[in-house]
Amino acid sequence: MVSRRNFIRWTGSASGLALALHGTVARAFDVPSANGSFRANLMPSMQDVWDRQVWMASLGPKYTGNAAHRKFVEFLATKLQAAGLEVARDRFTLPMWEAKGWGIKAKSTEGRWSDVPTTGYYPYSGQTSRDGIDGQLAYIGAVKPPTPGGRWQLPSGLEGKIVLADVPLDPTPYAQWWKPWGFYRHDTNFPEHSINGTWAIRVPAVGDAKAAGVRAVIFAHTSISDDQAALLYAPFGRAYQDVPALWVGPRAGAELRKIADSHGEVSVHLEADIAQDTPTDTLIATLPGTSTDEVIIVNTHTDGNNATEENGGLGALALAEYFAKFPKSSRKRTLVFVLATGHFAGAYVPSIRGFIERHPDLVRKAVAAVTVEHLGCREWADDASMHYRATGKNELTIVITEYESTAKIILNSVEGTGDNRTAVVIPTPTGTYNGEGGALSRAGVPTIGYIPIPSYLLAGPNNGCIDKLSKTLLYQQLQVLAKAVHQIDRMSATELKGRGRLTASQMQTL
């Protein structure tokens, strides 16, 4: 295990080459401290930031293009302009799908219908009338995520039936997905047995069931509690499937399996509206520095389902207000804040990829990027008795970066803050660069992807999971990010590029 202090000491030694993490050798250069630049008194107050957070949560889920999302985007645009930034927009449109009501009923042997508890719906799956779709229930066992680009292979004989499929979730394979550049504290490590409902996003495309004649699909969680499964917006980002699909928890799944064994019938209803050509905007806010030839990108997305997914817009706003209080002469580079839409509607709106495609000039000028997502999270998990509860810890802060310069910057920035459960990582060949930072990194921009992934990330309860966030931690994380931007601005483009974009396998050979 390597702590932040040893990471900085080893990789920043005067010898030029020194043994660093897990047998890697890092290029030596000093990461300038932000202590001489960061001014805590210029940050928006903790209470102001939190008041905005509570207000945003009260809007309800901000799915791409819906009324709550539009209201949030307009709020951000107004506040950014009030802080003195120039705000431009990129407009996109989509066929916005919104669920209005859903449920499952089971038919008894006496012919009576009774409600079966659900935990949610599959977004953009399909739609029915209020009366729903009736059919014989067919249980097909557990599903496995198809390979990328692969199709869901269903058994034969399902024409006209409603399919029930179990969805087991494995513990999050942190060590398989990410190799650590370093942990902030020596006693921090990857959780070993944590099962996270977020990964229900990996279920098959139900549109593949249409060709088999399936009328509707019911997915049953088997690995997480009903409380953790409640109202998970999963999977997101897919195109309209034209096959209605719902989710149930373990108890309802067991009940439905018995119904399927007896060749019983169920009714599925999923009422939804589809609004064609719904407009949705990405905001691009600019704060000039002494140079317009080099820029630092601070980015996030604005759509999401709860108080942390996505509060990156509030984080970017706070950072913009903070840096706007400094004189222009103090900023070496221009800051470009990209608040993208489309994260939850990726089949129709390209999110940060849209910015990269429409603004190649800004991407070429970018010396670095800081991606802000999912701030203030406390950890919640199912215990051994399948009770969903707070663990008493902060959520592990995953920071993904494929440049050793930015790895050092973020480990330096968390020094002395309460964001002390931090892992700075690089994706392995079996992992991914999660979130909005990956496309920028692949475009050659040294990018810090700040992305805790709590188990409730995709949940959409009435209170927006505000009870699971920490006001203090959220504010401390904003300070970490402000310090990181300060450090980036003080380093040369050559230092920030370092060895260039690395992979986990390349780290082994350094």
**pLDDT tops 80 at residue 3:** no
Average pLDDT of the segment spanning 150-172:
95
**Residue owning tokens 């004989």:** 157
pLDDT for res 8: 40
CATH class of the structural domain 34-95+277-509: alpha beta
Q: Which of 20-24, 234-238, 494-498 has the lowest mean pLDDT?
A: 20-24
CB-facing half-sphere around the CA of 219: CA atoms within 13 A:
33
**pLDDT tops 60 at residue 377:** yes
Alpha helices in 91-206 (DSSP H): 174-177
pLDDT for res 4: 47
pLDDT tens-place string over residues 443-497: 999 999 999 999 999 999 999 999 999 999 999 999 999 999 999 999 999 999 9
Q: Where in the chain is the domain with CATH 3.40.630.10?
A: 34-95+277-509
Higher pLDDT pick, 450 / 10: 450
From CA 188, how far away is CA 184, in angstroms rounded?
Answer: 7
Average pLDDT of the segment spanning 416-432:
93
Find out whether 166 and 142 touch, Cβ atoms under 8 Å: yes
Percentage of residues in the chain having pLDDT higher than 70:
93
Q: How confident is the model at residue 110 (pLDDT cuts 50, 70, 90)?
A: confident
pLDDT for res 294: 98
- Strands (DSSP E) contained in 52-150 are 86-107, 113-116, 120-121, 133-142
**pLDDT tops 50 at residue 199:** yes
Residue 275 host element (H or E): strand 265-287
Q: Where in the chain is the domain with CATH 3.50.30.30?
A: 97-178+190-273
CATH label, 97-178+190-273, candidates 3.40.1410.10, 3.50.30.30, 3.40.50.261, 1.25.50.10: 3.50.30.30
Find out whether 104 and 266 touch, Cβ atoms under 8 Å: yes
Average pLDDT of the segment spanning 150-154:
89
**pLDDT tops 60 at residue 11:** no
What six digits make up the tokens of 90?
Answer: 């990129």
Average pLDDT of the segment spanning 336-353:
98
pLDDT for res 507: 72
pLDDT for res 173: 95
Average pLDDT of the segment spanning 200-221:
96
pLDDT for res 15: 26
Q: How confident is the model at residue 34 (pLDDT cuts 50, 70, 90)?
A: low
Find out whether 373 and 333 touch, Cβ atoms under 8 Å: no
Average pLDDT of the segment spanning 88-109:
97
pLDDT for res 504: 86
Average pLDDT of the segment spanning 251-262:
97
pLDDT tens-place string over residues 72-83: 999 999 999 999
On average, the pLDDT of the chain sits at 92
pLDDT for res 494: 97
pLDDT for res 305: 96
Amino acid at 100: K
Find out whether 124 and 238 touch, Cβ atoms under 8 Å: yes
Average pLDDT of the segment spanning 144-168:
91
Handedness of CA 364, 300, 319, 338 (dihedral sign): positive
| DSSP per-residue codes, 373-440 | -STTBEEEEE-TTS-EEEEEEEPPEEEE-S-HHHHHHHHHHTTTSS--SEEEEEE-TT----GGGHHH
pTM: 0.93
Q: How confident is the model at residue 338 (pLDDT cuts 50, 70, 90)?
A: very high
Amino acid at 197: G
pLDDT for res 510: 59
**pLDDT tops 90 at residue 223:** yes
C-alpha dihedral, 400 to 405 to 407 to 408, nearest 10°? -170
pLDDT for res 32: 75
**pLDDT tops 90 at residue 20:** no
Find out whether 162 and 132 touch, Cβ atoms under 8 Å: no
pLDDT tens-place string over residues 37-50: 999 999 999 999 99
From CA 373, how far away is CA 453, in angstroms rounded?
Answer: 9
**pLDDT tops 90 at residue 19:** no
Residue 114 CB-density burial (10 A; 0-12 exposed, 13-18 middle, 19+ buried): exposed
**pLDDT tops 60 at residue 29:** no
pLDDT for res 340: 98
C-alpha dihedral, 259 to 265 to 271 to 276, nearest 10°? 100
